[in-house]
Amino acid sequence: MKQTVKDVDLRGKRVLIRVDFNVPLDRATGALTDDTRIRESLPTIRYCIEQGASLVLMSHLGRPDGRRDPSMSLKPVALRLGELLQRPVAFLRDCVGSDVEVDVKVLRPGQVALLENLRFHPEEEQNDPAFAAQLARLGELYVNDAFGSAHRAHASTEGVAHHLPAVAGLLMEKEITYLGGALADPARPYVAILGGAKVSDKIGVLKRLLDRVDRLVIGGGMAYTFLMAQGCAIGSSKLEADKLELAKELLAKAAGRKVKVLIPSDHVIATSLSPDSHVKTISTVDIPDGWLGADIGPATIEAFVKALSDAKTVVWNGPVGVFEQPRFCEGSRRIAQALANLKGTTVIGGGDTAACVQQLKLSDRMSHISTGGGASLEFLEGKVLPGIAILRDRPLAGSPATST
């Protein structure tokens, strides 16, 4: 386990915190349209303030490709964070340089500053050592609370930790605890639900989870590749032809390990995904020519929900239909409702799955909703995430503790 902000002395320290404020903005007005990621950072920020630290926060926003783009400025985020904290948040117009260093050094305990978008500098994504050293000069202790960026070895997520004592924030700790628990010692029955568009996005997760789960539920666009691998007709549905052999191998592996795999047996189909397309529900597994699968059908919904009914641990990554359109949301809605009613541990992968649960207003009934789409996938695959690996390990029981 990694050390966290609760394992170090913060009093009087200037703490440099990597947060994930990559929030959606209205490009026309510059206004925030969703402050979820800001709210997720509040426990760490408030804890550091309570402990008498001054805070320098840094984040990226969007993909400005190393150029200053006013539409991707973090200034609106500073205003919203100040409202949530009920205290002023100083917004600095850059993230490195002598002026920035002067501004942060006058911060007093309890004061908070937010740097401008890290990705206005190409050196951030290049993990440039000199740029990382400049960032490190802004603090005396480094905290990474941006799980959603932990799979990237950037200057603010990995490079800076070579220069400062580096620990995890409370959100990062929560992510490691829940996702790690789903891999290491899950309560059983353990069920994984994998959806989304592509098999190729989930290969690593599929292989790893097949060694651990009791049941595997497959929906979304990726299900049609598995259906064709079993000889079913899929009409115009999404297909990864180069992954058909892999799908067969995964199904064979599941059978060998006695892992029950559930894939759609009926469908909600459409002539296209355009809003005015024709839609119907079919009770057969085969999809006719000229139609594509857009959601799971009623029989599949009942089978999936039944497979979840006694689960003690569930990991869900990827919606089972085109949930953004209400007419194709029923499958994902029923799964989310089933998870909300479970007494076990429910871990929701980031990205579209988190958006789906939030859209259905069921977020507060899940054990944990990951803030990282790509990061949560890579973590579940068992990959080493650079932004986590670089943080200090917590001493083993009986070992002397480290303080800063």
Q: What is the rounded CA–CA span in Å between residue 242 and residue 175? A: 33
Residue in 225, 328, 323, 216 with CA at minimum distance from that of residue 267: 328
Active site members: 37, 198, 351, 374
Tokens 């029981």: give the residue.
397
Using DSSP's 3-state secondary structure scheme, residue 102 falls into helix
Peptide bond into 189 cis (omega under 30): yes
Which DSSP state fits 200? G
Stated length of the chain? 404
Task: List CB contacts of 147: < 8 A, sequence separation 6 or more.
Answer: 20, 171, 172, 175, 370, 371, 372, 375, 376, 387
CB-based burial label for 259 (10 Å; 0-12, 13-18, 19+): buried
Q: Are 78 and 112 within 8 A, CB to CB?
A: no
Q: Are 216 and 251 within 8 A, CB to CB?
A: no
Q: Would strands 267-270 and 279-282 be described as parallel, antiparallel, or unpaired?
A: antiparallel
* CA 205 centroid distance within chain: 14
CB atoms under 10 Å from CB of 304, counted, come to: 24
Q: Are 387 and 158 within 8 A, CB to CB?
A: yes
